[in-house]
Amino acid sequence: MLTVIGRRLLWAAPNLVLVTALLFFSVASFFGNPAALMLGQDATPEAIADLSHQMGFDRPVIVQYLSWVGNAFAGNLGRSYTTHQTVAEMMARSLPVTIELAVLSILLATVVSVGLNSLTWGERLIRPVVTVLSIVSMTVPNFMLGMCAIFVFSVYLGWLPSVGWVPWSRGLGVHLEHIVLPVVTLSAYYFGAFTLVYRAEYQAVRERLFVRVARAKGLSAHRVSFRHILPNSILPVITYIGISLGQLMGGAVVTETLFSMPGIGKLFVTAVLSRDYPVMLAVGMFIIVSVILMNLLADVVYTLINPQIRLN
């Protein structure tokens, strides 16, 4: 297993270099000279040229990229052009928010979709309702669903706060009140996607011979569903979780901005609006590395759940 993981990481290295290079060159090409932004609109060309030389912005782009990569691997992500804080400190404050939001959203979507589609009682009533909900959750845009949730549960009913973030240290109840709507909003799309993926595999597995043998032994329909069909049907869902991390980060950007959550997504939006290059590059690299590691983790979990599958 360790050999396979090491081999996968070696294969991921060229992809990491290629994608980070595209990220750096895109930022450097589309957003212009950072020195002009740092000095403001009233800066003279001479002042801009002088600061560009001091900061190394006048060097070739490939040289700037190699310098940035070297510093990043050494743990130096630079300083923000707007707040003058280290990027590592800014990401360290924002990362726990995004991780909690992402983990809770994925868990909620997985548990609800797999649980509802594995139920054996009330199947004729539950399945059509779940199908309609899954289609709606996949077709309604994330920001629209979030705004509808804010209007219903915050403005109209007044049950939950509409925006903001409260850490755990200020109380579990208050913290959960502020995170319920963002988690439900972000998990909605994945609930629909997981439902469609899991149900297709569930229907195929339930017709296999070992399932018919389990029924012939007199096992209850509930036990056959959760003990025999579910473990063999959830593998595509695990794979989908791994490959959809990039989409999850994209959804987190919208969700955190909509609900004013101080996570990585909100940090990225703020950096783009202010053209804060070091923050943009650091968050982009974090997302890229997360996607690669999450895909690797999905492969490992896939193999642990089903020992018949072996990674090559």
| pLDDT at residue 122 in the model | 63
Looking at residue 144, its pLDDT comes to 84
Query: Rounded mean pLDDT of 145-150?
Result: 85
Q: Is the pLDDT of residue 174 over 70?
A: yes
Radius of gyration of the chain from Cα atoms? 24
pLDDT tens digits for range 57-76: 767 778 878 888 888 888 78
Give CA–CA dist 91/77, Å, rounded.
10
Q: What is the mean pLDDT of residues 102-113?
A: 87
Q: What's the N-to-C CA distance of the chain in angstroms?
A: 10
CATH of 87-305, one of 1.10.3720.10, 3.40.50.10860, 3.90.1530.30, 3.40.50.620: 1.10.3720.10
pLDDT at residue number 240: 78
Cα 263 from Cα 276, distance rounded (Å): 16
Within 28-173, strands assigned E span none
Give yes or no for residue 312 having a pLDDT over 60. Answer: no
Q: E strand or H helix at 240, and its extent?
A: helix 235-243
* DSSP letter assigned to residue 14: H
Residue at token pair 């109209």: 156
Q: Which position has the higher pLDDT, 304 or 179? A: 179
Q: Give me the chain's average pLDDT, please.
A: 78
E strands, the chain, are none
Q: Is pLDDT of 184 > 60? A: yes
26-45: per-residue pLDDT in tens?
Answer: 776 666 666 666 666 666 77
State residue 90 phi and psi, 5-degree precision.
-65, -40
Tell whether the torsion through CA atoms of 269, 273, 279 and 283 is positive or negative: positive
pLDDT band at 147 (very low <50, low <70, confident <90, very high): confident
Q: Per-domain residue ranges for the chain?
A: 2-73, 87-305
- Tokens 């018919």 label which residue? 212
Phi, psi values for residue 79, rounded to 5°: -120, 150
Q: Which DSSP category does 74 fall into? A: T
Instruction: Specify the residue for token string 């569903």.
Output: 225
Least confident segment among 7-11, 84-88, 152-156, 263-267: 7-11
Q: What is the pLDDT of residues 267-310, one digit of tens each?
A: 888 888 777 888 888 888 888 777 777 777 766 766 666 555 55
Instruction: Give the Å distances, CA to CA, from 147 to 141, 161, 196, 199, 260.
Output: 10, 12, 25, 29, 13
